[in-house]
């Protein structure tokens, strides 16, 4: 009897988790039991980092201590800057992947997979990730990296290092929400990849490097960039219908719609929809939101009944674009928000580990006779 094959491991439960709960039919997402709507509108990224890593919302002292630890670990070693300069022509995700891997050479806990050490490493990687991305971006422009600013929060400091000027509070808050929305999302492809690496008892740096590599793929983390390219191709709201119809009639996909888990609207999308509109109006470029709205509320309406709804990437790209962030940095921002989630996934894997090793059903020839090379045609 042939084995049952679950292509893509669809609907297969790998393990139990306390990290996040996803109800794809209802469109519900919880981090450690807390609704994403409450966290996005009431919390900060630093609070969410604490929640994910330690399992509860912090009190004032706990939050202050974590904030101090994050700020104390923002500066990367000079050797990392040198590595980033060598690879300055590479894609930002390649640079982040290389930088995270290289950081293992400087981490005193690199081979300690205890929960305490893994959390310490996760905090350091969360703190240094923005420095790597910002430094690489400036180096490829022929500019000097900007040193971290201890007066700014996590999101504000990243924007400061990226652009070399103090960001306004509205922009900081906007990126903070984006980081929160991307912080954790179950056993998605990158988290699964990180767990596979952790299951071999390799170190957290290796696991996060795996996660970054998996996230880079356009079927996982690249949708926000593709959505913005699509909006630019459309150009004006009145062109949206014809453009989308040509893609759909040829069997193509409208990027930013559909999700492997969600059959209702991605609950994260609502928090970027209104922010995309307000930012566009503020900066005098409402056309991008208008194009996206036309696609969502007119062209794609018939597909909702098939479970193809807007996802978190749909409005994210327009926000990044309006903030002046280059499109090849979009996935890197996703990755920076996800480092705490990858860390928690690895903490859980290490705590109750078994080597992740699925099977493949062989479909090739059997018992083929070996022919010496002299006798081969």
Nearest of 201, 45, 40 to residue 123 by alpha carbon: 45
Question: How far apart are alpha carbons 64 and 46 in whole angstroms?
Answer: 9
Give yes or no for residue 195 having a pLDDT over 90. yes
- Mean pLDDT of the region 174-183: 98
Give yes or no for residue 255 having a pLDDT over 90. no
Quick check: 349 and 198 in contact, CB under 8 A?
Answer: yes
* Neighbouring C-beta atoms of residue 346, cutoff 10 Å: 30
Q: How confident is the model at residue 244 (pLDDT cuts 50, 70, 90)?
A: confident
Q: What is the pLDDT of residues 277-286, one digit of tens each?
A: 999 999 999 9
Q: Which residue has the higher pLDDT, 290 or 301?
A: 290
Give yes or no for residue 259 having a pLDDT over 90. no
Q: Give the rounded distance of the alpha carbon of 276 from its chain centre.
A: 19
- Enumerate domains of the chain plus CATH numbers: 17-217+328-351 (1.10.580.10), 223-322 (1.10.230.10)
List phi, psi (to 5°) of 20: -150, 155
Q: Which residues are catalytic?
A: 259, 313
Give yes or no for residue 218 having a pLDDT over 90. no
Written as six digits, the tokens of 167 are 């960001």
Q: What is the pLDDT of residues 113-171, one digit of tens each?
A: 999 999 999 999 999 999 999 999 999 999 999 999 999 999 999 999 999 999 999 99
* Percentage, residues of the chain above pLDDT 90: 82
pLDDT, averaged across the chain = 95
3-state secondary structure the chain: CCCCCCHHHCCCCCCCCCCEEEECCCCEEEECCEEHHHHHHHCCHHHHHHHHHHCCCCCHHHHHHHHHHHHHCCCCCHHHHHHHHHCCCCCHHHHHHHHHHHHHHHCCCCCCCCHHHHHHHHHHHHHHHHHHHHHHHHHHCCCCCCCCCCCCCHHHHHHHHHHCCCCCHHHHHHHHHHHHHCCCCCCCHHHHHHHHHHHCCCCHHHHHHHHHHHHCCCCCCCHHHHHHHHHHHHCCHHHHHHHHHHHHHCCCCCCCECCCCCCCCCCCCHHHHHHHHHHHHHCCCCHHHHHHHHHHHHHCHHHHHHCCCECCHHHHHHHHHHCCCCHHHHHHHHHHHHHHHHHHHHHHHHHCCCCCCCCCCCCCCCCCCCCCHHHCC
Question: How far apart are alpha carbons 60 and 196 in whole angstroms?
Answer: 36
Q: What is the pLDDT of residues 44-78, one digit of tens each?
A: 999 999 999 999 999 999 999 999 999 999 999 99
Give yes or no for residue 348 having a pLDDT over 90. yes
Range among 88-102, 224-238, 303-317 rated most confident:
88-102
Residue 343: predicted pLDDT: 98
C-alpha distance from residue 50 to each of 46, 59, 65, 334 (Å): 6, 10, 10, 18
Residue 237: predicted pLDDT: 84
Give yes or no for residue 270 having a pLDDT over 90. yes
Q: Is 247 exposed, middle or buried (0-12, 13-18, 19+ CB in 10 A)?
A: middle
């Amino acid at each position: 009897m042939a084995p049952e094959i679950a292509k893509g491991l669809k609907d297969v439960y790998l393990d139990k988790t306390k990290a996040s709960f996803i109800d794809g039919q209802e469109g519900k997402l919880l981090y450690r039991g807390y609704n994403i709507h409450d966290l996005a509108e009431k919390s900060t990224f630093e609070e969410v980092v604490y929640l994910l890593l330690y399992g509860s919302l912090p009190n004032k002292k706990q939050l202050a201590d974590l904030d101090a630890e994050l700020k104390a670990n923002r500066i990367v070693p000079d050797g990392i800057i040198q590595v980033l300069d060598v690879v300055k022509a590479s894609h930002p995700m390649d640079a982040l992947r290389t930088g995270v891997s290289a950081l293992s050479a400087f981490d005193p806990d690199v081979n300690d997979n205890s929960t305490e050490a893994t959390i310490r490493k996760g905090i350091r990687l969360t703190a240094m990730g923005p420095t790597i991305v910002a430094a690489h971006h400036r180096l490829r422009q022929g500019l000097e990296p900007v040193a971290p600013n201890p007066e700014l929060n996590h999101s504000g400091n990243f924007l400061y290092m990226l652009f070399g000027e103090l960001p306004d509070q509205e922009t900081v808050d906007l990126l903070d929400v984006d980081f929160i929305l991307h912080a954790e999302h179950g056993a998605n492809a990158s988290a699964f990849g990180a767990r596979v690496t952790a299951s071999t008892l390799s170190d957290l740096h290796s696991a996060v490097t795996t996660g970054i590599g998996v996230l880079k793929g356009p079927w996982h983390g690249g949708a926000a960039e593709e959505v913005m390219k699509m909006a630019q191709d459309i150009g004006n709201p009145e062109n949206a219908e014809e453009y989308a119809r040509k893609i759909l009639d040829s069997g193509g996909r409208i990027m930013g719609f559909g999700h492997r888990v969600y059959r209702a609207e991605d609950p994260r999308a609502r928090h970027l929809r209104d922010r995309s509109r307000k930012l566009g109006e503020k900066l005098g470029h409402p056309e991008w939101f208008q194009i996206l709205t036309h696609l969502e509320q007119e062209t794609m309406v018939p597909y909702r009944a098939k479970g193809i709804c807007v996802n978190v990437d749909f409005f994210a790209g327009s926000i990044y674009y309006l903030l002046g962030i280059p499109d090849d940095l979009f996935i890197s921002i996703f990755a920076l928000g996800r480092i705490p989630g990858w860390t928690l996934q690895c903490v859980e894997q290490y705590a109750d580990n078994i080597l992740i090793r699925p099977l493949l059903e062989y479909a090739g020839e059997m018992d083929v006779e070996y022919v010496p090379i002299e006798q081969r045609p």
